[in-house]
Amino acid sequence: MKLRNVLNTKTPKSPLQKKGSSSIRIRNSKWLSFPYILWMIGFIIIPILVILYYGLTNTDTSLTLDNVLAILDPINLRSLRLALGLSWKSTVICLLLAYPLAMILSKAKNKSNFIVMIIILPMWMNFLLRTIAWQNLLERTGVINTVLKFFNLPMLNIINTPNAIILGMVYNFLPFMVLPIYNVLIKIDKDIVNAARDLGANGIQTFLKIIFPLSLPGVISGITMAFVPSLTTFVISNILGGSKITLIGNVIEQEFRVGNWHVGSGLSLVLMIFILISMAIVSKFDKESEGNSLW
Amino acid sequence: MKNFIGMIALLIMVALLTACGSKDGEKVYVLNWGDYIDPDVIDLFEKETGIKVVYDDFQQNEEMYPKIQAGAINYDVVCPSDYMIQKMIENDLLQEINFDNIPNFKYIDSVHLESAEEFDPGNKYSVPYTWGTLGILYNKTKVEGPVDSWDILFDEKYAGEILMIDSVRDAFAIALVSLGYDLNSTNEAELEEAKALLKKQYPLVQAYVVDQVRDKMIGEEAAVGVIYSGEAIFTQRENPDLEYVVPKEGSNVWIDGWVIPKNSKNKENAEAFINFLCDPKIALMNFEFITYSTPNYGAWELIEDQDVKNSPVAFPPNEIIERCTAFKYLGEDMERNYMHKWNEAKGK
């Protein structure tokens, strides 16, 4: 449904379409979504069904819940708790950093495109390389500590700790938080803000009662975009955490690596429940905002 | 039937690959560790034999195994480690090699064929490619006196200066051996004791690493690390303060060997490939590229650099090899048991 809206607004209308009924346009747009549907079936739906199959069966193909219940193993529970804690912290930090930045961007009319560009620029480089680069920066003999040592300043000892993992998460997922908030903020009608000021609201009141509530859809989709990848990551915890902190993503990766697809899939299903919950929250806000959403 | 749904998904994904694999000339499908062959060797082989090499790599034995088992791509020649070769033989995934097609087999040193009998009795399924020991790499300027024991990895004096290996069997081998047990132990009490030791070690460990130990030790991030002998030679070349030792309590000796999976479709090409790699000149090229010790006696004789040829790290004296044991495959349940205990140990 969302796709149709987008296509309708973006497809330039030919004279013929102007005269014709709207049903022609809808039929055309449906046809255009065909490759997307194929893609979705091949690379999203079938893989999920495969995970479901593996997650709910045993090596001898009998149905079982054991793989899902493997999450109750104290070690796996500990990893899940750790992952939830770290990804929650990093999401909050992302939000606190991203919101003011998005506000500044939405006001800086001429320069905003350039700044958005700078935020997106690092994403042109591979995620893994950037994380390894952080390792080189943070190590005891790394760039930052070499500089600190030169000026006789105390050393920074955060590599291989949970804080380094949070740093990695914030760094990698911050753009996903900034962009949706920025996109919502620039679409807020200036007249509404002016009306609020006109009716006597001060800056703080305008922000709390007008701007922030109107930007909520962007905030919510930003939170999911940052929370979900943080929750499931195993690369960041390996590289910046020195494998000393085992997150649920590491457990799943390990299960797949040793060839135990059944337990790996079962644990992935548990993780999917958390992701579905956050998606449900987003779609609730989506409805309230009447298609003002972005992602 | 078991992997039916998985097979469908895999079929979709590899449809293009297999389509490309239709017959146009002779081919050999090779699955090897990453960075584990001199790329020039592949070119030479293609030129000399006219057989095209389709090359893939893997990072872990455990990752390679399901690929061979599922058989989505029929690899002709694969290079797993000792215990994995045993597992593949036991699960009927390998076929016997026809040694008539591998005349260069005579260059493989009999000492190593004897160690290989541990996992491949009668040397029917595998041809040793590289071998080495597991040991301690330490920085002479950061550690007191010569190191000769695993105890340094559990010494609180070096808290935060230890790089432990992030690999289940290797980590347990260290703990078991330093407690005086067999590194292939399946005794629950011994394993619990080893787990407790590893758990006690957790707060002292700076990071659990595998390949990264090289760069971190060269960059002087830590004082001691656990490393394979082949990597040690490379690190010493980069940082002369580093020293490698196989502890007196004993250690693991490993062998990686070439095997031919049962579902191979070009067995003779695979044998031609193995034969080519056993040629002393080619084995020497590979030794110089990967720096892991070669079991090829002919290649060792050709080494010109006397320091390398007589290096106790690359080619240790027999008394060191004798105190080392190769890994055995312990069965699926025991593997899970090890893994579970390892996860328990790696946490507060």
Chain B residues within an 8 Å CB radius of A78: 347
Calculate mean pLDDT across residues A50-58. Answer: 94
Model ipTM?
Answer: 0.79
Q: Which of residues 153-192 of A touch B (CB under 8 A)?
A: 159-160
Q: Mutating which of B195, B212, B217 best tests the A interface, going by the most A Cβ atoms within 10 A? A: B212
* Two tokens, residue B84: 């994995």
Chain B residues within an 8 Å CB radius of A75: 340, 343-344, 347
Whether residues B248 and B325 share a domain: the answer is: yes
Mean pLDDT (chain A) is 85
Cα–Cα distances in Å, from A141 out to A136, B179, B331? 8, 34, 42
- Is the Cβ pair B62, A259 closer than 8 Å? yes
- Is the Cβ pair B66, A261 closer than 8 Å? yes
Categorize the per-residue pLDDT at B61 as very low, low, confident or very high, splitting at 50, 70 and 90: confident
Query: Which pLDDT score, from 0 to 100, does residue B244 have?
Result: 95
Checking if the pLDDT of B20 tops 50, the result is no
- The string of pLDDT tens digits covering residues B231-285 is 898 899 899 999 999 999 999 999 999 999 999 999 999 999 999 999 999 999 9
- The string of pLDDT tens digits covering residues B306-326 is 888 888 888 988 888 888 888
- Is the Cβ pair B208, A243 closer than 8 Å? yes
- Is the Cβ pair B207, A141 closer than 8 Å? no
Q: Which domains does chain A have, with CATH numbers?
A: 80-250 (1.10.3720.10)
- Write the secondary structure of A13-77 as one string of H (helix), E (strand) and C (coil): CCHHHHHCCHHHHHHHHHHHCHHHHHHHHHHHHHHHHHHHHHHCECCCCCECCHHHHHHHCHHHH
Cα–Cα distances in Å, from B220 out to A138, A139, B145, B161? 14, 10, 18, 10
Whether residues B237 and B282 share a domain: the answer is: no
Mean pLDDT (chain B) is 90
What is the DSSP code (8-state) at residue B92? T
In three-state secondary structure terms, B261 is strand
Does residue A223 sit at the B interface (CB-CB below 8 Å)? Answer: no
- Is the Cβ pair A259, B66 closer than 8 Å? yes
- Is the Cβ pair A59, B209 closer than 8 Å? no
Whether residues B331 and B283 share a domain: the answer is: no
Query: Which pLDDT score, from 0 to 100, does residue A284 have?
Result: 78
Contact A102, A206 (CB under 8 A): no
Q: What is the distance in angstroms between the Cα of B233 and the nearest Cα belonging to chain A?
A: 22
Pairwise CA distance, residues B84 & B92, whole Å: 12
Does residue A106 sit at the B interface (CB-CB below 8 Å)? Answer: no
Pairwise CA distance, residues B137 & B229, whole Å: 9
Phi, psi of B206 (to 5 degrees): -75, -50
Residue of B nearest to A61 (CA): B2
* Two tokens, residue A39: 């893609």
Chain A residues within an 8 Å CB radius of B69: 259
Work out the angle at residue A95's Cα, subtended by the Cα atoms of residues A90 and A99, and round it to the nearest 5 degrees: 155
Query: Which pLDDT score, from 0 to 100, does residue A16 have?
Result: 43
Whether residues B185 and B61 share a domain: the answer is: no
Contact B283, B112 (CB under 8 A): no
Q: What is the DSSP string of B32-62?
A: EETT-S-HHHHHHHHHHH-PEEEEEEES-HH
Query: Which pLDDT score, from 0 to 100, does residue A7 have?
Result: 36
Q: What is the distance in angstroms between the Cα of B155 and the nearest Cα belonging to chain A?
A: 18
Categorize the per-residue pLDDT at A115 as very low, low, confident or very high, splitting at 50, 70 and 90: confident
Instruction: List CB contacts of B27: < 8 A, sequence separation 6 or more.
Output: B21, B51, B52, B53, B54, B266, B269
Q: What is the distance in angstroms between the Cα of A153 and the nearest Cα belonging to chain B?
A: 19
Whether residues B111 and B189 share a domain: the answer is: no
Whether residues B126 and B149 share a domain: the answer is: no
- Is the Cβ pair B221, A261 closer than 8 Å? no
In three-state secondary structure terms, B287 is helix
Strand ranges for chain A from DSSP E: none
Pairwise CA distance, residues A56 & A74, whole Å: 21
Longest dimension (CA), chain B: 63
Residue of A nearest to B61 (CA): A258
Q: Cα Rg for chain B, rounded, in angstroms?
A: 21
- Is the Cβ pair B207, A49 closer than 8 Å? no
**Position with higher pLDDT, A221 vs B23:** A221
Whether residues B333 and B306 share a domain: the answer is: no
Cα–Cα distances in Å, from B66 out to A85, A256, B6, B291, B330? 33, 10, 12, 28, 17
Chain A residues within an 8 Å CB radius of B340: 75
What is the DSSP code (8-state) at residue A211? I
Among A59, A75, A242, the residue with its CB nearest the CB of B344 is: A75
Q: Which residues of B touch A (CB under 8 A)?
A: 1-2, 5-6, 8-9, 12, 60, 62-63, 65-66, 69, 166, 202, 205-209, 216, 219-221, 335-336, 339-340, 343-344, 346-347
Contact B50, B75 (CB under 8 A): no
- Is the Cβ pair B166, A243 closer than 8 Å? yes
Whether residues B144 and B24 share a domain: the answer is: no
Pairwise CA distance, residues B317 & B139, whole Å: 23
Categorize the per-residue pLDDT at B163 as very low, low, confident or very high, splitting at 50, 70 and 90: very high
Q: What is the distance in angstroms between the Cα of B320 and the nearest Cα belonging to chain A?
A: 31
* CA A185 centroid distance within chain: 18
Work out the angle at residue A235's Cα, subtended by the Cα atoms of residues A230 and A238, and round it to the nearest 5 degrees: 115
- The string of pLDDT tens digits covering residues A160-205 is 999 999 999 999 999 999 999 999 999 999 899 999 999 999 989 9
Helices and strands of chain A, counted as H and E runs: 17, 0
Whether residues B175 and B78 share a domain: the answer is: no
Instruction: List CB contacts of B65: < 8 A, sequence separation 6 or more.
Output: A259, B80, B84, B87, B88
Pairwise CA distance, residues B271 & A94, whole Å: 56
Calculate mean pLDDT across residues A101-109. Answer: 87
- Is the Cβ pair B1, A61 closer than 8 Å? yes
Whether residues B332 and B213 share a domain: the answer is: yes
- How many residue pairs from chains A and B have C-beta atoms closer than 8 A? 66
Whether residues B199 and B248 share a domain: the answer is: yes
Q: Which domain range does residue B155 map to?
A: 132-253+320-345
Q: Mutating which of B2, B208, B329 best tests the A interface, going by the most A Cβ atoms within 10 A? A: B208
How many structural domains are present in chain B?
2
Q: Mutating which of B7, B11, B59, B62 best tests the A interface, going by the most A Cβ atoms within 10 A? A: B62
CATH of residue B203's domain is: 3.40.190.10
* Two tokens, residue B271: 């044998």
Q: What is the distance in angstroms between the Cα of A125 and the nearest Cα belonging to chain B?
A: 21
Q: What is the distance in angstroms between the Cα of B219 and the nearest Cα belonging to chain A?
A: 7
Work out the angle at residue B26's Cα, subtended by the Cα atoms of residues B24 and B27, and round it to the nearest 5 degrees: 100
Checking if the pLDDT of A15 tops 50, the result is no
Query: Which pLDDT score, from 0 to 100, does residue B12 have?
Result: 54
- The string of pLDDT tens digits covering residues B182-219 is 999 999 999 999 999 999 999 999 999 988 899 999 99
Q: Record the pTM.
A: 0.81
Whether residues B61 and B111 share a domain: the answer is: yes
